[in-house]
Structure 1
Amino acid sequence: MVSTINVSTYELLVKPIITSASSPNRTVIQGYFLTISNPGFSNLKIRLTFKARTPDFNSSPIVAFWDVDGTNNQLIPISSFPCVRTYIFDLPALDTGLFLLLPDVTQSSVITNRNTEIRGYVRLSIDSAAGGSSNMRTLLLSAQQRGTFLPQGSINPPAAGDFDQLAYDLPLASGGSEVTLETNLISATTNLSLPNRDRILKAIEANPSFLRDITNEPLVQKVAELSVEEQQRMLYILLERFQANPQVELPIDRVEIEANGKLADNLSESIEAGAISS
């Protein structure tokens, strides 16, 4: 079974519907909405990776949110290359959440410039699942584009006016809303299958901020500020000790490990992003 899938395409817009100064020149603001349901009994950690090349994510500010309980929680990308944005978030058992990727219209220049047009595709994987004996997990997906038309001729929306909205479903790459993916099981005692040590050390040498792109954990962020030699030395010692003692006792709600080759997948994604953006 697969561990990562393509979900759908997407398009972010802040654009006039025509370029003429005369009517109709209304501005459309459009974002991407992905509903994810977890019908299983395991809490899941979901990873979404958005890719865009021409234009890339440096062309206009964007913002992402994850909403399970009615509160839009803003997400900070763990990977932030010109052509890649990666987000990780939790989806509880038997629950449903809504992911939003939007033009950042809180920045006034985004609306006044009316020049946001970012297109690409979305990939999804389940980083980990808590408990259970099988490493397969099922999700239900539904993708939409939703948007708003500002009143005629308005850059700064008035308190009242002729607002209109749009919403349309996007076809899913799998052909159906139900997908089953392979993931890592997290339990109180976790057997770690560590990636090749030299691969990690070389990745740090090629990109000193490599660790910062993997996780927003504060300790890792501090380590990423050290020199390349200091980072490599610390990881060398750590990996040696892990390999000498593969049975590691870890609390279920604190485990955030890239195990069973997942780090190698992320590394190849980082290399791909760097190659495209250079």
Structure 2
Amino acid sequence: MALVSTFEVLLKPQLPPVKGLENLSRKVIQGYFLTIANVNFFPVTLSLVFTVKFPSDPTNPTALPKNFDDFLEAVDISGVNIISNSSLVPEKVPQNNKARLTFTIPENGTSLLLLQPDITKASVTSGANFEARGYVEIFLSSLSGSDSATLLVTPEHRGTFFKDITSNNPDKVSLDQIAYALPVSNGGVFKLSNQ
């Protein structure tokens, strides 16, 4: 097991509601992107464990996420995004706010994982009140082709700012994007063992 990074997943107004700044503020949807390269000559089966502290503010009962069902996860290993497939559904452990995602990366293959608010749900998009922070751990499964493996891991946040996502006028949509890398130990080279 190794700690990968922290993460922050958002769907929120860019600025707090301040009189006079309404025209400056947009909403932001921010996802956590994790690229994992298997630099070995055998397939590697990994488990990622996400630990999240869910909102518990009694003055804001509509704050999301309430549980892991409010997230959307996708894994792209072969150039095709697999979104919320039954084999990729997190293992929900509500008492300790953890979810597990297990998948296999072929030899010398690279995967991309995305974790973001589930924007397919009206309850998530209508209030734009989604904020989750946590950390990610990575484990080498005993189903891998070896008892140890070396991986190159690159986490980052990517965000999209928008004013009115439903408008047909591009000037009113006001899209903009930001991406920034997250710090990792050992320069992102992880040597894992299941012993």
Normalising TM by the smaller chain, what interval? Answer: 0.7 to 0.9
Shift of 1:141: 0.2
Other-structure match for 1:108: 122
TM-score norm. by structure 2 comes to 0.82
Shift of 1:76: 0.7
User: What is the root-mean-square deviation of aligned Cα atoms in Å?
Assistant: 2.0
Shift of 1:183: 2.4
Other-structure match for 1:44: 44
Say whether 1:15 aligns with 2:23: no
TM-score norm. by structure 1 comes to 0.59
**SS of equivalent residue, structure 1 residue 42:** coil
Other-structure match for 2:108: 94
Unaligned runs of 5+ in 2: 57-64
Shift of 1:157: 3.1
**2:27 maps to amino acid:** T
**1:79 maps to amino acid:** K
Q: How does 1:1-278 map to 2 (within 5 A)?
A: 4-20=1-17, 22-55=22-55, 57-58=65-66, 61-74=70-83, 75-81=88-94, 83-128=97-142, 130-131=144-145, 135-151=147-163, 154=164, 156-159=165-168, 160=170, 161-172=173-184, 174-183=185-194
Contact 1:63-1:103 within 8 A present in 2 as well? yes
Shift of 1:34: 0.3
Other-structure match for 1:197: none
**2:45 maps to amino acid:** K
Equivalenced residues, count: 175
Unaligned runs of 5+ in 1: 185-278
Return the structure number with greater helix share.
Answer: 1
Query: What percent identity do the matched residue pairs reach?
Result: 35
Shift of 1:129: 5.0
1:151-185 CA distance string (max 9 Å, x none)? 2xx2x43243320011000001x23111101127x
1:187-219 CA distance string (max 9 Å, x none)? xxxxxxxxxxxxxxxxxxxxxxxxxxxxxxxxx
User: Larger relative contact order (C-alpha < 8 A, sep ≥ 6)?
Assistant: 2
**SS of equivalent residue, structure 2 residue 108:** coil
Shift of 1:130: 4.3
